[in-house]
Structure 1
Amino acid sequence: MPGITCVYDCRKHLPFPDGSVRGIFCEHFFEHLDYTEEVPIFLSECARVLQLGGVLRLIVPDVERYLRAYLADGWQALSAIRPLDDQHTDFFLGCRYNTKMEFINTVFRQGHEHKFGYDYETLAFVLRRYGFRQVVRQSFEVSLRPELAIDQAVRASESLYVEAVR
């Protein structure tokens, strides 16, 4: 929310009372959580601290979009998602890819920093499993709570935008 920022290791606990938060914004963070160990704790904590009707906005790399682009001929579809130059050098990471599978592995794994890849179906499933009653696929800068539409434009082409309502 405007004027309120909290920096905290939220893999174990969120430092807020039950039902005290209107919205939570997470951009390119959730994929760094371990699916079996950390995701259940984090989502349960988000559901605990959110007010009834509160919104969790998750933005992650869109694995489905990447896989569809991988299956297309050539590099054009991948370059449309993530900026690459003519030599297949990554604008974000600075590395050059020799094959499309090298590209896919680098994006999905990011030096073992990414722990899990998400499509909408999987993200919606896990959100419902841990206490969210409504899950909505959104798009860049479109939110159920306008104050949560603070997305980075540079990541828009590669991102999956999902909101969950407690």
Structure 2
Amino acid sequence: MSKQSASFPGWDWDDPDRLAGQLDDFSAQVAVCEKLEPVGALPHSRQDFQELGLTGIEFAAFRTAHPEGLGTDLTPLRSPELSSEPGTLYRVDGERSFTQLDIGRPLPFADASVDWVYAEHLIEHVTMPVAVGWLTEARRVLRPGGVLRLTTPDLARYLHGYAADDGFLARHRRRLSMLGFGPPMPQRKAFLVNQIFRYYGHQWIYDLDELRHVLVRAGFAAEDVRHCAYRTGVRADVADLDTPFRTDETVYVEADR
């Protein structure tokens, strides 16, 4: 047994149902900060956001990297003294804004209240009806001329990697192992395709056409949906939120309001 495997006793990658709880516990370890300060009620209107120096929303982010962003997540954010609650705006470590939100419910913001919305590797964690409802709400809170940027694992990349045996799956396995999220995964190609469907709470895996489908269902015009590259988009400050360790498996899409 390797030293890394010994650090995860009882971990069996071939048993996703058993591992679900362990993966949740492992993920919850990142939902912490040193200092969590309640600021007050959430901003509602565009003026509220502007008065707080906020221009957009990053979903699935406990600590957004955007200095003018409001980070949100379903999971409570915890400090040694406090745990977040829905409906309250918080300051995280004196640097960033955060609120606890459920994307399965209507967003508590006014129409046309923000300039941008960003979500990295979130949409695959909810069912398609929830995704369409959330994207409809995201479109509603964007001002005309605003932009939505989504990233998610690319089904086409996985299936091409499997069929062509081009080395993508082996490289991606090594990349995941470097994150320390459990012991190294099995090297079997079928496992590496299955894990993107069966682990991490994933509900639906997208390719470019499937993303276009849900965005159009949410009210975005098909001609306003475009395929982008890593850290390339209509707003550099938003595209720069893309994180580097997911570039090999990710499809990047933007939609204009």
TM-score by length of 2: 0.58
165, 190, 199: which is aligned to 1:110? Answer: 199
Distance 1:73 1:143 in 2: 31
Counterpart mapping for 1:8-157 below 5 A: 8-36=101-129, 38-73=130-165, 76-80=167-171, 82-84=172-174, 90-92=177-179, 93=181, 94-111=183-200, 113-133=201-221, 134-149=224-239, 150-157=241-248
Aligned partners of 2:225 and 2:254 also within 8 Å:
yes
Q: Give the C-alpha shift of residue 95 in structure 1.
A: 3.5
SS state at 2:234 partner: coil
Q: Give the C-alpha shift of residue 41 in structure 1.
A: 1.2
Number of equivalenced pairs? 159
Report 1 or 2 for greater relative contact order, CA contacts < 8 Å, sequence distance ≥ 6.
1
Q: How big is each residue's C-alpha offset from its partner over 1:56-76, in whole Å with a ceiling of 9 and x where there is no partner?
A: 1000001101100011237x2
Deviates more, 1:57-66 or 1:125-134: 125-134
143, 159, 162: which is aligned to 2:250? Answer: 159
Structure 2 alignment gaps of length 5 or more: 1-55, 57-66, 73-100
Q: Percent identity?
A: 35
SS state at 1:48 partner: helix
Structure 1 alignment gaps of length 5 or more: none
Aligned partners of 2:170 and 2:187 also within 8 Å:
no
Distance 1:121 1:28 in 2: 17
Q: Give the C-alpha shift of residue 145 in structure 1.
A: 1.4
What amino acid is aligned across from residue 164 of structure 1 in structure 2?
Answer: A
Distance 1:13 1:50 in 2: 14
Aligned partners of 2:127 and 2:204 also within 8 Å:
yes
RMSD over aligned CA atoms reads: 1.9
Q: Give the C-alpha shift of residue 40 in structure 1.
A: 2.0
Q: Give the C-alpha shift of residue 98 in structure 1.
A: 4.7
Q: Give the C-alpha shift of residue 16 in structure 1.
A: 1.3
